[in-house]
Homo-oligomer: A and B are copies of this chain.
Amino acid sequence: MKKNPLLGRDVISMRDFGPAEIRAILDRCRGFENNRKPLLQGKVLANLFFEPSTRTRLSFDSAMKRLGGATIGFSDSISTSISKGESLWDTIRVAEGYCDVMVIRHPAEGSARLAAEATRLPVINGGDGSNQHPTQTLLDLYTLKQRTGRIEGLKVAFVGDLKYGRTVHSLIRSLSHFDARLWLVSPTSLCLPEDFLEDLRDSGTEHHIVDELAAVPDDVDVLYLTRIQKERFVDAIEYERVRNAYQVNPENVARFGAKLTLMHPLPRLNEVHAALDQHPGAAWFDQAHNGVIVRQALLALCLGAA
């Protein structure tokens, strides 16, 4: 049996894992595709969601229960002791007595790291503000591997809002360790922040900053689409223009061929034409479903049960 890459560890940031460790984690995930062994029977997960996130919460909840474990927790901070002024440190130290592993979702950057320091139990970051969301990145990488057979040397175009959204940031950073070639397709106002561009330059990752889908070559492996949020625009007309300019539809996707993989972290508005659900490469629902598989693996590995 291979070494457990997460034994005695937390899952706080993708930066904590080297390329070999990421490969090892993804390898372990495959075993959970059809697993129904109650590996975590008798174990309790605390799902500590200080801000709402139905998708991530339900995905962890399902993962734990698929493995025979139980879940406790809350889905927002309104009804918690936090509203009585309790420190996060105290909340985590108290919760430690209630569970075997914790998932924390919190609006403050660094909160997951703080939680991991407060407790001897394994902590998994379910998203800390605009900072890290490592389980989303792992499920994206897992889906990439499932669809293309590899995570190395992929040609990936990121389309839409590259300025906000840790999902894109974290995946771009991870791909830079795996010899990716990147096309960054966005309006100037929503382009990738300078510090991420600097990282790409530092790591020598080939990347092309463009402002239209037409600039992406036909043989790209993956289009990674994002939600363009109205709130990011002061001007409603500008929002409409951008939204329409970056919508992906059967026509402008046809030239990439049937081997193209289409991804989106969801929820989506109308960045994606409904007809693309029928595209053989449409992977957004697979991404969501793989989220359960990846989180099963993470829970089992952190608890030393896999």
Which bucket holds chain A's interface residue count?
Answer: 35 or more
Interfacial residues of chain A within 21-59, with CB under 8 A of chain B in the complex? 36, 38, 42, 44, 46, 52, 54-55, 58-59
Say whether B54 contacts A74, CB under 8 Å.
Answer: yes
Say whether A74 contacts B75, CB under 8 Å.
Answer: yes
Say whether B81 contacts A55, CB under 8 Å.
Answer: yes
CB contacts (< 8 Å) of A46 on chain B: these are 58
Say whether A79 contacts B75, CB under 8 Å.
Answer: yes
Say whether B72 contacts A288, CB under 8 Å.
Answer: no
A36-B42, A94-B285 given. 9 additional CB < 8 A pairs? A44-B62, A46-B58, A52-B80, A58-B98, A62-B98, A96-B289, A97-B290, A97-B291, A97-B292
CB contacts (< 8 Å) of A38 on chain B: these are 42
Question: Can you name the residue of chain B whose Cβ is closest to the Cβ of A286?
Answer: B97
CB of A289, distance to nearest CB on chain B (Å): 3
CB contacts (< 8 Å) of A288 on chain B: these are 93-94, 97
Say whether B90 contacts A268, CB under 8 Å.
Answer: yes
Question: Can you name the residue of chain B whose Cβ is closest to the Cβ of A72?
Answer: B61
Say whether B75 contacts A65, CB under 8 Å.
Answer: no
Q: In whole angstroms, how far apart are the Cα atoms of A200 and B268 in the complex?
A: 46
CB contacts (< 8 Å) of A266 on chain B: these are 81, 86, 90, 94
Asked if A85 is at the interface (CB within 8 A of a chain B CB), the reply is yes
Asked if A218 is at the interface (CB within 8 A of a chain B CB), the reply is no
Say whether B42 contacts A94, CB under 8 Å.
Answer: no
Chain A 269-281, CB-CB to B under 8 Å as 1, else 0, gives 1000000000000
- Enumerate the 4 nearest inter-chain pairs by beta-carbon distance, A residue then B residue, closest first: A97-B289, A52-B79, A86-B267, A65-B70
Chain A 94-136, CB-CB to B under 8 Å as 1, else 0, gives 1111110000000000000000000000000000000000000
Say whether A54 contacts B72, CB under 8 Å.
Answer: no
CB of A287, distance to nearest CB on chain B (Å): 9
CB of A271, distance to nearest CB on chain B (Å): 11
